[in-house]
Amino acid sequence: MKFVNWPLWGISVLLAIHSNSALAHDPVFGIGPHVLFKNGMEAALEVDRKKAGEETKSGVGLEMTYGITGEWAAGIKVPYSFRDNGIDSSSGQTDIQAFTKYRFWREDSLGLQKSAAVMLALNGENADEKTNPALGNGATDIITGITWGYESIKWYRWASTRYALPGKNTAGFQMGNKWKIDFVGGWRPIPPEYKKTDTVWLLELNGEIVDKAKLNGKTQANSGGTEWFVSPGIFWTLRNFAIKSGIQIPVSSDLNGIQNKSDYRFKATFEWHL
């Protein structure tokens, strides 16, 4: 039977969390309060795929994040999208996003950290929506959010909410305001050891509540609604490299008018802390 020195183990994990190492996780689909250490850099490559009816959308995005202070980080994401609805297809750069996150509360104890943060993001009108309307809405969108996290040696818990306020494009079209609500639990089955791989299993409950879109002030019947997903996932780390991946499985859908319900959504992110 292998002997584990619990006090030393707890101290080592706490120090890792304090230094914002790869042990400090965020969910796959939700958001968490994790920020980088001061002057830290994180490069991430994200791939995703969504299917609803006959339409599939795939994307890849490059994300760079910089730790301004130990509690405040900011970055930029440059995405590229592919769309196919069975009749035609399109591809191109989608809206570039600038984002920032500030951790305003943090409480540490042995092997445990509780914290909370706020976030702000701007989706610019950078997509080539004139020739490929599916790639963007031709307007600048504002996204705000707040998140709380509980990170211990074995158990993780997160809760977050985000609100997206879309802009109006030159044609008078405005997508519906959107709420995203996330509850996430995580479990580490094997105690972490320095310089060895670390695995955390995740289970998320993700909800989206979307208002109806408007065109020149007129509400569009076939838009908006509510969807909920159960999302199993995994977070795997090795020192300063991490992979997190998950799949959203729809469990409830109440969409307005004639719209395709989501079949699934998949996402994987490859992170490198510099």
Q: What is the pLDDT of residues 251-261, one digit of tens each?
A: 999 999 999 99
* Percent above pLDDT 70 for the chain: 87
CA 154/CA 234 separation, integer angstroms: 14
127 CB burial (10 A radius; 0-12, 13-18, 19+): buried
Contact by Cβ (8 Å): 145, 163: yes
Distance CA 93, CA 62 (A): 11
Across 103-112, average pLDDT? 94
Rounded distance between C-alpha atoms, residue 52 and residue 56, angstroms: 6
Query: Is residue 58 over pLDDT 50?
Result: yes
pLDDT of residue 4: 45
φ, ψ at 196 (rounded to 5°)? -115, 160
Q: What is the DSSP code (8-state) at residue 232?
A: E
Alpha helices in the chain (DSSP H): 6-18
Distance of CA 21 to the CA centre of its chain: 19
Angstrom CA distances, 24 to 205, 229, 236, stand at 20, 24, 11
Q: What angle do CA 227, 136, 230 make, to 5 degrees?
A: 20
The whole-number pLDDT of residue 127 equals 61
Q: What is the pLDDT of residue 19?
A: 40
Contacts of 243 (CB under 8 A, 6+ apart): 234, 235, 236, 237, 268, 269, 270, 271
Q: What is the pLDDT of residues 195-247, one digit of tens each?
A: 889 999 999 999 999 999 999 999 999 999 999 999 999 999 998 999 999 99
Q: What pLDDT does residue 56 have?
A: 96
- Predicted pLDDT at 3: 42
Q: Is the pLDDT of residue 133 over 70?
A: no
Pairing outcome for strands 241-255 and 218-219: unpaired
Instruction: State residue 193's pLDDT score.
Output: 84
> What does the pLDDT read at residue 256?
97
Q: Is the domain defined by 6-273 classed in CATH 2.40.160.40?
A: yes
